[in-house]
Amino acid sequence: MNHDIKEILISQEALAARVQELGQEISEKYKGKELLMIGVLKGANVFMSDLMRAVSVPIQIDFIAASSYGSSTESSGVVRIVKDLDYSIEGKHVMIVEDIIDTGLTLKYLYDNFSARKPSSLSIISLLDKPERRKADIKVDYTGFIIPDEFIVGYGIDYAEKYRNLPFVATLKPEVYSK
């Protein structure tokens, strides 16, 4: 698997340090409140697992699965909810936890969908952000790292359901995903 890696962009140590910083920021902002973290599956699961342990306020968790990629490496722009939330978010402080924001189309769809469900507050956190690829106007409240427009894997992020278990974020050799 490591022979498919072009370059490690963010080390395991840098990820751990940034997640702790984000956890402290979130704990401060939501002091005295309960937070509902909603992980966007499948990619955000590793980030959310580490993040929720770095947050000191009471939290609940839920997950949503949405797809705009299918089996492609490019977003189609058509968002499909594969698994909806298990709980109502009405009146709750909600944070959407995303692994990476690329075009922003999926996240914009989810944000608008959740807003219509009347949460008390709604924020977004993303581990990674590729702002140069943005097609949707979306405000991200917390960002882990700004990354270049390259195909990345690791720390929950996959290519063809592989590489999620890498403990770092890395670029993939182009010959791997252009086959």
* Whether the Cβ atoms of residue 152 and residue 172 lie closer than 8 Å to each other: yes
| Domain boundaries defined on the chain | 2-68+78-177
- Any residues with CB less than 8 A from the CB of 113 and at least 6 apart, and which? 81
Q: Where are the alpha helices (DSSP H) in 43-149?
A: 45-53, 105-115
Give the catalytic positions in this structure.
Answer: 102
pLDDT of residue 11: 98
What is the fold, at CATH topology level, of the domain defined by 2-68+78-177? Rossmann fold (3.40.50)
pLDDT in tens, 125-157: 999 999 998 999 999 999 999 999 998 999 999
Q: Which residue has the tokens 């698997």?
A: 1
What percent of the chain has pLDDT above 70? 93
pLDDT of residue 1: 65
φ, ψ of residue 88 to 5 degrees: the values are -70, 145
pTM (predicted TM-score): 0.92
Residue 146 β-bridge partners: 129
* Short-list 168, 129, 143, CA closest to 21: 143
